[in-house]
Amino acid sequence: MQTDLLSLFCSLVRVPSPSGRELQVSRKIYTYLKGHGIKAHYDGAGKHTGGNCGNLVAEIDGKGPAIMFIAHIDTVEDGKTPINPIVRNGTVYSDGKTVLGADNKAAVAALMSALLEIKELDKRPRVIAAFTVSEESGVMGASFLRPRAKPGHVFVIDGSSRVGTFISSALGDTSFQLKFIGKSVHTAYAERGINAMKAAGIMIARQRLGKYGDERYVNIGGIISDGKDNVVPGSVSLIGEARALSKPKMDGLMREIEKNAKEACRMTGCSYRLYINKRNSVPPYSARLDKKTIRMARSASRSAGLKFGLVQVKGTMETNVLQARYKSVIGISRGGKMPHSKEESVSEKDMLSLRNLVISIAKSAVE
Ligand SMILES: [Zn+2]
């Protein structure tokens, strides 16, 4: 089984799958599952995400309420430079030219492999495994999942904490564009104009940027102006985001941003508009875990020989968008190291542990 899982993982990362271009790798997953007697179908998420396919949803029949596992299949690679996995002492690395794509294909491989074993269990729950698209781009194919049976428990596999760690909260992310509107005139008539750049500058100087004490963040990362050297700019936009762990905290950050924008306008005579980029924003995730989910997670960790733990993560995850739709949503750490970098790696041990954990969760659902 060991070498099988490792070679399955390597075969997946060799297929490029940047966000929106997951068709090829999903076909590979589809063929693998079908070859082992597991049915899967594509949903309509591709229409909404603008990608070349939807989520691939596999199902295994069983008793009781369904449990759903989710693993996104897109990676942060550019899709041009092929990923060349190299195995050294039981750990897989890229050749240093690209990311490895263990985020999230280590989870994908472990889940695929686990499904084969779950299918053979005498006592098993109904299992839905969703291989989702466009997570890394923030568009979140997972938010368009509509499985036929509504699952009682949803497990999202992602994140690089130790395997055995479950994720119960993740930062939300509000992406915004703050536009200052002044009046554009030639430099020689500057007294008749209103300089929007000045408002933007005051805004940047006034706004607290970076980390706040309690896991809140504000960033301004871009500035848009069609400015020329001899024109007082009439319109300047700032691009940024706010991150927080709860809705009230997020609302507080957005109020602070507006307050500073108003002050910048008061000082310059500009007006402003604040646009929220809904496509790239996700709400904070804070699990309302029912007792059964926690019990399943605990007992599955124990029987897979892993130390159970609960953590919060700074990144946004599919948990954030799924929480609105399902009663009990929890994240499962995938393991691996240095995701989104050329130094990314994952050990075979992590993948095996993850596979065993998924199988144990399925078993614990019918205990
Ligand atoms: Zn990921």
Q: What is the pLDDT of residues 332-362, one digit of tens each?
A: 999 999 999 999 999 999 999 999 999 999 9
For ligand 1, the distance from its centroid to the CA atom of residue 161, given in whole angstroms, is 12
- The rounded Å distance from CA 156 to ligand 1 centre is 10
Cα of 200 vs centre of ligand 1, distance in Å, is 34
Whole-number Å distance, alpha carbon 340 to ligand 1 midpoint, is: 9
CA dihedral (128, 132, 136, 141) in degrees, to 10, reads -110
Distance CA 32, CA 116 (A): 10
Name the residue among 1, 52, 5 with its Cα closest to residue 25.
Answer: 52
- Quote the ligand 1 centre to 104 CA distance (angstroms): 5
- The pLDDT value recorded for residue 149 is 86
Q: What is the pLDDT of residues 93-116, one digit of tens each?
A: 999 999 999 999 999 999 999 999
Give residue 2's pLDDT.
45
pLDDT of residue 339: 95
What's the gap in Å between 122 CA and the centre of ligand 1? 32
158-211 pLDDT, tens digit per residue, is 999 999 999 999 999 999 999 999 999 999 999 999 999 999 999 999 999 999
Confidence bin at 122 (pLDDT 50/70/90): very high
- Centroid of ligand 1 to alpha carbon of 189 (angstroms): 52
Could you tell me the distance, in angstroms and rounded to a whole number, from the CA of residue 339 to the centre of ligand 1? 8
Spatial distance between the Cα atoms of 46 and 59, rounded to a whole number of angstroms = 19
Q: What is the 3-state secondary structure (H, E, C) of the chain?
A: CHHHHHHHHHHHHCCCCECCCCHHHHHHHHHHHHHCCCEEEECCHHHHHCCCCCCEEEEECCEEEEEEEEEECCECCCCCCCCCCEEECCEEECCCCCCCCHHHHHHHHHHHHHHHHHHHCCCCEEEEEEEECCCCCCCCHHHHCCCCCCCCEEEEECCCCCCCEEEEEECEEEEEEEEEECECEEHHHHHHCECHHHHHHHHHHHCCCEEECCCEEEEEEEEEECCCCCEECCEEEEEEEEEECCHHHHHHHHHHHHHHHHHHHHHHCCEEEEEECHHHCECCEECCCCHHHHHHHHHHHHHCCCCCEEEEECCCCHHHHHCCCCCCEEEECCCCECCCCCCCEEEHHHHHHHHHHHHHHHHHHCC
Report CA(247)–ligand 1 centroid distance (Å): 23
Structural domains of the chain in order of their starting residue, each with its CATH number = 2-171+284-365 (3.40.630.10), 172-280 (3.30.70.360)
* pTM for the full predicted model: 0.88
CA of 75 to the centre of ligand 1 (A): 7
76 alpha carbon – ligand 1 mean position (Å): 9
Q: Cα(135) to centroid of ligand 1, in Å?
A: 7
pLDDT value of residue 148: 87
Q: For residue 157, how far is its CA from the centre of ligand 1 (angstroms)?
A: 8
Other beta carbons less than 10 A from residue 47's beta carbon: 10
What separation in Å is there between the alpha carbon of 192 and the centre of ligand 1? 51
Q: Which residues pair with 180 in a beta bridge?
A: 236, 272
299 alpha carbon – ligand 1 mean position (Å):
25
In the reported structure, the alpha carbon of residue 158 is separated from the centroid of ligand 1 by a whole-number distance in angstroms of 5
